Amino acid sequence: MTEQKTTFRDLGLSETLLAAIEKKGYEFPSEIQAGVIPLLLNGDKDIVGQAQTGTGKTASFGLPLLSRLDTSKKWVQAMILAPTRELAIQVAKEIESFTDRSVKIQLLYGGQNIREEIMALKRGPHIVVGTPGRVKDHLITKRTLNLSNIDYFILDEADEMLNIGFREEIEEILTHTPEDKKTLLFSATMPREILAIAKKYMKDYDTVKIESKTTISDRIDQKYYEVAPRNKFEALCRVIDMTEDFYGIVFCKTKMDVDDVASKLMSRGLKAEGIHGDIDQKHREKILARFKQKRSLVLVATDVAARGIDVDDLSHVVNYSLPDSPETYTHRIGRTARAGKTGTAISFISRADQRKLFAVERVIKQKIAKGTVPNAKDVVEIQKKRLLEGVANLMNDEKIHDFSEMADHLMGLGDPKVVISALLRDAHKDRFDEKTYNNIDEGPKSRETVSGEQRLFVAKGKADRMNPGSLIQFIEKEVGISLWDVGKIDILEGFSYINVQADVAAVVLDYYKTQNRRKPLVVQAKARTGGGWGGNRRGFSGGRWSGKGFSGGWGGYRWGGSRGSLSSSGWSRYGHRKG
């Protein structure tokens, strides 16, 4: 007897929300959604939810919130704290996708124009989503946020917030909320610190725990390639061209990456399409239908847009960008090697991704093999071999006799070898020319120092209270990566210079370009004339960032601070935060 699956309708959601859920293509709730939604809709207790990233936690609290909000009230009714700006944006967008414009949602995070945030708060949003630092700034320093009337307080990714060092801010924010609110705490793990917060600030609560599913089929061949960001597309082309009957999904981090990669693949004559959240539902359904019918063979997608794809014979999953969580990694690659088949999962890793890779290996309890990107000669040779084998097989096909008369005419044109060469040239053009592949191993094309560093110009300086340590923290927090090998830093009055590794620089420059194309906050520095970068320019000189601290360049400077300190022995990473 088949077990009856729980539907969203069974959970007691309104018809409006059910229509929105159906429009997004969701059929059945995830385990965390099936557990939390009824409790938040109908229960009186607080809720602790334990589930991995990528299991649908946002919808589990977002959908019931939308059901219970009173849009006639012009004040904040729900406060959602997230550890990083990226997650805060993701949470806000996910909730927005289920509602109309009657529900006002406001994002608060560092790096955003605070004056615009203040104006938006004055208009009375119903839901505020933000990072602890910026929320505390509005709540306590500027007093532009009032949480005294909220009905719901939600901590998302609580363990990550504590890892980053936000416990003090969280507790301070909680003291400005009413006692009769309903509190929800979500975390992938439940260390003692999380349980201590639950005990101290939550009333009697229900617990919904979803066991982590990180088992990976041994039929999936996992490997990674060390590839600088600028060379990812070239590596992807070689992987596709090297593979016979490639049929797979290429996962990208951003919608912009999806559009860029998909359009470039199509321009190379590949049957590729892109899919992401900005594409309307009707168009998404057509793209997915073509992919399932193998009318397109490469689907470039974001994680959110790839939900609902159910294909049993994918040959490959490619992580063009490694996901932020190991659980998302397992979810992605689990789309291949289904129904007893084998599959391949390939990840492109830059220097900035090493910690993510280690985290994935730790969670899946496997070592992922390092591979070598196929060289252009090998790719061309295997394509030639494949063509010859294909022609040999076609010679046994009776339908080729339909072309006998045309073949006689062609043979009459001249030397058969010349005729076949002309046909191949017409059909395949530059396909078998190694020069059509860019040199993936060549040095960076941008202005860089001899050591492989790139010098960046940052439009913040002493006037913005920047010192070398805070400049590094600022970029790390904004971009969400770690600058583990920083070189020379110059801090001037209104701007700064910083040397970082070329592959890391590419990630940083790409991020700021997407934030403001006309006037990015960080750009590539112009080369100085007369001998490299040279000169102290009243800034840091001669030291290096090793991941354990700066060495050889601080002199006698000393700064202090509760979140870290700089002395002659180096910068302490204690309490460093990303979000």
Q: Which helix (H) or strand (E) holds 384?
A: helix 376-394
- Amino acid 477: pLDDT: 81
- Whether the CB-CB separation of 91 and 98 falls below 8 Å is answered with no
Report the C-alpha gap between 294 and 310 in whole angstroms. Answer: 13
Predicted local confidence at residue 428, as pLDDT: 67
C-alpha dihedral, 269 to 274 to 280 to 281, nearest 10°: 100
Alpha-carbon separation of residue 88 from 129, 291, 328, 481, 507 (angstroms):
6, 32, 17, 17, 20
| The predicted structure's pLDDT at residue 486 | 76
Regarding beta strands 550-551 and 544-545, do their DSSP bridges make them parallel or antiparallel, or are they unpaired?
Answer: antiparallel
Helix (H) or strand (E) holding 332: helix 326-333
For residues 359 and 362, give the distance between their C-alpha atoms in angstroms, rounded to a whole number: 5
What whole-number distance in Å separates Cα of residue 541 and Cα of residue 489? 7
Structure tokens belonging to residue 407: 């073949």
Q: Which residue has the tokens 């168009």?
A: 283
Q: Which of these, 103, 41, 95, lies nearest to 71 by C-alpha position? A: 103
Domains within the chain, CATH numbers bracketed: 9-209 (3.40.50.300), 220-376 (3.40.50.300), 397-429 (no CATH), 453-571 (3.30.70.330)
- 457 CB-near residues (< 8 Å, 6+ apart): 495, 496, 497, 522, 523, 524, 525, 526
What contacts 55, CB < 8 A, 6 or more positions away? 30, 31, 32, 210, 327
Residue 221 to residue 226: CA distance in whole angstroms = 17
Phi, psi of 79, rounded to the nearest 5 degrees: -115, 125
Q: Name the stretches of the chain with pLDDT < 50.
A: 1-2, 442-451, 529-579
* Residue 204 tokens, joined: 């009697």
| Angle (CA) 269 271 276, round 5° | 120
- Residue given tokens 């049993």 in the structure block: 312
The secondary structure element, H or E, covering residue 470 is helix 468-479
Which residues make Cβ contacts (< 8 Å) with residue 491, sequence separation at least 6?
Answer: 461, 462, 466, 467, 468, 471, 538, 539, 540
Beta carbons of 15 and 274 less than 8 angstroms apart = no
Q: Are 298 and 240 in contact (CB under 8 A)?
A: yes
CA–CA gap between residue 241 and residue 222 (Å, rounded): 19
- At residue 78, φ and ψ (nearest 5 deg) are -140, 135
Residue 140: DSSP 8-state? I
For residues 314 and 32, the answer to whether their CB atoms sit within 8 Å is no
Nearest to 49 by CA among 165, 202, 163, 180: 202
Instruction: Say how far apart CA 389 and CA 103 lie, in whole Å.
Output: 61
Question: Where are any strands of DSSP class E within 168-282?
Answer: 182-187, 205-209, 220-226, 248-251, 272-275
Other Cβ atoms less than 10 A from the Cβ of 407: the count is 13
